[in-house]
Amino acid sequence: MSKAKIFQSLTIASELTATRQVEQHLFTQLRAQNYPDDCLFAIRLALEEALSNAIKHGNHLDPAKMVTVRFSINPDEIQLTIIDQGQGFDPLVVPDPTTKEHLEDPNGRGIMLMRAYMDEVSYNLKGNEVRMVKRIRPSRSKQAG
C-alpha cells in the first residue's frame, strides 16, 4: 500500500498546554505512516523543544501571539517548520551548553537536542523560524527483502 504525502499547517496560541494538540495531531499522522518508534521519539523531543522555544523565548508566553507549525510527511522523511511572532535571535550566538564554562547554563540545551535528534536544523535570517528534517531509513530487514 502506497502512503500519501501529507502537508498540513496548524496555528496555536503561545500557551504551553496548546502544544499537546499539535503533538497529538502530528503523531496520529506519523503512526499512520508507520514511522518507527526511535524516529517518533526523536521527532517528539525535537518538536517539544522547538515549540517550547517559540512560546517561551520567541513569543515570551504572550497568548495573543501565535505559533505556526507546518509539516510535510512522506514515507521517507518529515519536514517540520515552527514559526513564532517574536523578534527572532541569532542561533550562532547561543553558547554551547557542553563547554565547561556553560555546563550549568540552562540556555542552548534545546537547540543542542534538536540538532542531535534531527538530520537537519536550520533557521531563517530573522531567527523566528526553525526548519527541521528527520529522514526515515529503512530497517535492514526491509532492505534485504
For residues 27-51, give the mean pLDDT.
Answer: 95
At 81-129, the pLDDT tens digits run 999 999 999 888 876 766 677 667 666 678 989 999 999 999 999 999 9
The answer to whether 73 and 31 have CB atoms below 8 angstroms apart is: no
Q: What are phi and psi of 122, to 5 degrees?
A: -145, 160
Q: State pLDDT tens for residues 117-141.
A: 999 999 999 999 999 999 997 654 4
**CA pair distance 56, 116, nearest whole angstrom:** 21
* DSSP output for 26-81: HHHHHHHTT--HHHHHHHHHHHHHHHHHIIIIISTT-TTSEEEEEEEE-SSEEEEE
Domain 6-144 has CATH 3.30.565.10: yes
Query: Residue 110 has what pLDDT?
Result: 87
> What does the DSSP assignment read for 11-23?
EEES-GGGHHHHH
Closest CA to 54 of 25, 80, 92, 27: 80
